[in-house]
């Protein structure tokens, strides 16, 4: 004859199995910042400045910036 298992033991066994099957996520906090467009004295755009790490993004004839800062990885918005 087989052994009987109590309701409470079954619940504990199911919970343990479910918890063992759950995978932990490898998550990183997303930093959010803004690009501040800086201009030369003649009014020509010069570079974008990151508000998170103070890094600058320079490019000849710059008109748009990356959606992420190449220095710190922050998700960026454009602000003037």
Mean pLDDT of 39-60: 85
Instruction: Quote the number of domains for the chain.
Output: 1
For residue 26, being part of any structural domain is answered with no
Residue 1 has pLDDT above 60, yes or no: no
| Domain of 65, in residue numbers | 32-79
Q: Residue 51: pLDDT band by 50, 70, 90 thresholds? A: very high
pTM over 0.75? The answer is: no
- Furthest C-alpha separation in the chain: 93
CB 33 within 8 A of CB 48: no
Q: Convert the pLDDT of each residue in 3-43 to its tens digit.
A: 778 888 888 888 777 766 666 556 778 899 998 888 889 98
């Amino acid at each position: 004859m087989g052994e009987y298992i109590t309701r409470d033991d079954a619940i504990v066994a199911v919970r343990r199995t479910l918890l063992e099957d759950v995978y932990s996520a490898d998550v990183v906090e997303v930093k959010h910042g803004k690009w501040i467009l800086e201009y030369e004295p003649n009014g020509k755009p010069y570079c974008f400045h990151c508000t998170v790490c103070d890094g600058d993004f320079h490019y000849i004839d710059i008109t748009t910036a990356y959606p992420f800062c190449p220095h710190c990885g922050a998700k960026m918005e454009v602000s003037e």
